[in-house]
Amino acid sequence: MSGRGGRAPCRLRHMEYTQRNRVPLPAAGAFQKVPLSGQAVYDWQYALDEQKLMALYEKGKKLGWNASDLDWATPVDSERLGAEENLDAFMNGVLKPPRTMTKKDALLYHVHTNSFMLSQFLHGEQGALLAAAKIVQTVPWEEAKFYAANQVADEARHVEVYHRYLTEKLGISYEIHPSLCKLLEDITSDSRWDITYLGMQIMVEGLALAAFGIMRLVMQHEPLILDITTRIMADEARHVGFGVLSLQKIYSEEMSAAELREREDFIIEATRLMHARLVPTPVFERLGWDPKVWVPWVESTPFHKGFRQMMFSKIVPNLKRLGLLTPRVREAMLDLDLLRFENDKDSLEAPEVTPPAELVQLIMEGVASGAMAPA
């Protein structure tokens, strides 16, 4: 049947795909209920004074994309790519694991660490979906509600894309890491709207933005994940900018010393949880490799240390811009060697992430030896 004016109705494509291997469930089961608190706020004045937020909202609408726009017919064969990249040479020659890795060992580590990282992206995006929906309700200003509503659609799309990639294309995935689960629960259950912002837009999204940069660097020969990563990075850069724009006056002008100390406590705990979730203990457990042997290696090798540090390369300068890189927070960051980023450009000055020089050097060594670095 034709539509108005005799035109055929538009047929929208929706995502249909076969899950080769469903995402594993955490110990708590398929659903987790988190008690919500706080107040929904109506803004009856509609002042719309924050023009930078309005511009970001407009940009988000224009740059929206659809998961079905991706070329899902692109073959993904991580095992073939890993074999071609001579990963065992890189692992043994540059990263120096606790024991010499065979080609099979190096390939397993490569595929499973990438799957672990992508799985945590998936779970983090669902956390961002819930947090953005909560911001729509609780933030006082209408223009921030506009942008957060647009972000809800972004996050749903990110969950959709990562889920399809993991279950249809890779066929390997991991349950949510306990540290990430705890952090998402803290963010969504807190009654203070700025904590939702701070936890998700500055901390979790800031770390994700840097992680996407690493993913783009180490999976250069996989075109589908490169396309996914490039699209999501553009979205996440706007989301982090949204958080910085919304919070930059709150902590310097509107909070008491006691309230600021509570935010310091939150940042310190969030940093600890995020740093812990970057150690792939579940990978070693699934592969049957003794975590007591392999975790210390991950915690001490220059490549892995540089990887974990890079994850905070936008968080630290963003906290500084917000006035939250206080002596207490600085001490916590110093313990993890993260203050190296404090004079870097924040997300409003430069949305892109620059990898640490020593990490780039290690990857270049891998390239020179005929291997590409694993995640």
pLDDT by residue (tens digit) across 17-34?
888 889 999 988 999 999
Nearest alpha carbon to residue 118 among 67, 159, 68: 159
Task: Please check whether residue 311 lies inside any domain of the structure.
Answer: yes
228-243 average pLDDT score: 92
Which pLDDT value is given to residue 184? 95
Nearest alpha carbon to residue 201 among 215, 182, 187: 187
The whole domain housing 250 covers: 49-62+75-368
CA atoms within 13 A of residue 310's CA, in its CB half-sphere: 24
Per-residue pLDDT at 332 exceeds 80: yes
Which two tokens mark 226?
């490169």
Q: What would the pLDDT profile of 67-104 be if each residue is shown by its tens digit?
A: 999 999 999 876 666 565 678 888 888 889 999 999 99
Query: What average pLDDT does the structure give for the chain?
Result: 87
51-70 average pLDDT score: 94
Task: Please check whether residue 324 lies inside any domain of the structure.
Answer: yes
Per-residue pLDDT at 40 exceeds 50: yes
What is d(CA 55, CA 78) in angstroms, rounded to the nearest whole number? 40
Which two tokens mark 366?
């891998």
Domain count of the fold of the chain: 1
Q: Say if residue 318 is exposed, middle or buried (CB neighbours under 10 Å; 0-12, 13-18, 19+).
A: buried
Task: Please check whether residue 355 lies inside any domain of the structure.
Answer: yes
Q: In which band, very low, low, confident or very high, does the pLDDT at 357 lie, cut at 50, 70 and 90? A: low
Task: Please check whether residue 12 lies inside any domain of the structure.
Answer: no
Longest dimension (CA), the chain: 71
Per-residue pLDDT at 271 exceeds 90: yes
What is d(CA 101, CA 232) in angstroms, rounded to the nearest whole number? 33
Per-residue pLDDT at 8 exceeds 70: no
CATH code of the domain in which 353 resides: 1.10.620.20
Structure-derived torsion over alpha carbons of residues 210, 285, 268, 206, reported in degrees to the nearest 10: 20
Task: Please check whether residue 9 lies inside any domain of the structure.
Answer: no
**pTM for this prediction:** 0.89
Residue 271 backbone class (left: φ over 0; alpha: ψ -120 to 50; beta: rest):
alpha
| Neighbour tally for 135: CB within 10 Å | 25
Q: What would the pLDDT profile of 127-171 be if each residue is shown by its tens digit?
A: 999 999 999 999 999 999 999 999 999 999 999 999 999 999 998
Alpha carbon of 67 to those of 8, 36, 160, 210: distances in Å?
24, 30, 7, 22
Sorted by sequence, the CB contacts under 8 Å of residue 113 that are 6+ apart come out as 280, 283, 374, 375
Per-residue pLDDT at 375 exceeds 60: no
Per-residue pLDDT at 284 exceeds 80: yes
Find out whether 291 and 285 touch, Cβ atoms under 8 Å.
yes
Q: In which band, very low, low, confident or very high, does the pLDDT at 372 lie, cut at 50, 70 and 90? A: very low
Which pLDDT value is given to residue 83? 60
327-331 average pLDDT score: 95
Per-residue pLDDT at 366 exceeds 90: no
Task: Please check whether residue 250 lies inside any domain of the structure.
Answer: yes
Task: Please check whether residue 373 lies inside any domain of the structure.
Answer: no
Task: Please check whether residue 1 lies inside any domain of the structure.
Answer: no
